[in-house]
Amino acid sequence: MLIAAFEQRLYIRSNVFCIDIDQPVANVTLTSTPSLITRQRQNLGRTRSCGVEADSQLRLRDDLELSAGYLFVDATVREFPADRSLEGLKVPQVAQNQFTFQARYTNPKIAAFSVHLRAADSQYDDDQNAFRLAGFFAVDISASRKIGRRMEIYAAAENIFDEKIEAGRTPVLTLTGPRTIRVGIRISVGKNK
């Protein structure tokens, strides 16, 4: 579904989906002890992912735009004859609820600025749904300014509040990267369009 309104300044898109996948490749637990988990890449039988995704974009002015997105997905193992105990469990590494928001300001005479928020609820790290990864909320920012026709300076910071985002928990907790800051210069070469 697509809705456009206010002289094309507002777009809202949504989609309902249900996808069955036969023989997806996944990490399947072979043995598990408190200090060592052994997994093997195997075809997992059949999975089903059903849900709703929606995103919107609002151009408040020619230089200011807001966008947001939401995804709900219920991803489960439907069939796995090699280990029936996995049937009905959640597919690992898939958060059921995910949300994004971005605000962008662009003025060629000044600069371009953006703020990006992203969040997800908890998910499982493993096929047996024994190790839950916590949900997270993170904020990223960026700024850039053109210097002449071929050069641009930029700065960006990801995860500015240094949120501890869990990436793995089998059996040792691992985190994604901490706050990251990048500063640089982009130079365009070749023909200018």
Residues 20-57 have pLDDT tens digits of: 999 998 889 998 888 888 889 988 889 999 999 999 99
Q: How confident is the model at residue 103 (pLDDT cuts 50, 70, 90)?
A: very high
Q: Is the pLDDT of residue 90 over 70?
A: yes
Please tell me which residue, 4 or 145, carries the higher pLDDT value. Answer: 145
How many structural domains compose the chain? 1
Residue 153 lies in a domain: yes
Residue 138 lies in a domain: yes
Question: What whole-number percentage of the chain has pLDDT above 90?
Answer: 73
Provide the pLDDT for residue 113. 98
Residue 182 lies in a domain: yes
Give the Cα separation of 122 and 98 in Å (integer): 10
Give the Cα separation of 98 and 66 in Å (integer): 17
Lowest mean pLDDT among 32-36, 127-131, 186-190: 32-36
Of 86, 141, 83, 152, which Cα lies nearest the Cα of 116?
141
Q: Are 173 and 134 in contact (CB under 8 A)?
A: no
Q: Which amino acid is at 141?
A: I
Domain membership of residue 30 as a residue range: 2-187
The domain that holds 48 is classified in CATH as 2.40.170.20
Provide the pLDDT for residue 190. 80
Residue 48 lies in a domain: yes
Q: Is the pLDDT of residue 153 over 90?
A: yes
Residue 193 lies in a domain: no
Please tell me which residue, 180 or 190, carries the higher pLDDT value. Answer: 180
Q: CA dist 90 to 87, 101, 150, 156, 165, Å?
A: 9, 26, 49, 35, 20
Provide the pLDDT for residue 35. 81
Give the Cα separation of 51 and 146 in Å (integer): 41
Q: Which amino acid is at 60?
A: L
Q: Is the pLDDT of residue 192 over 70?
A: no
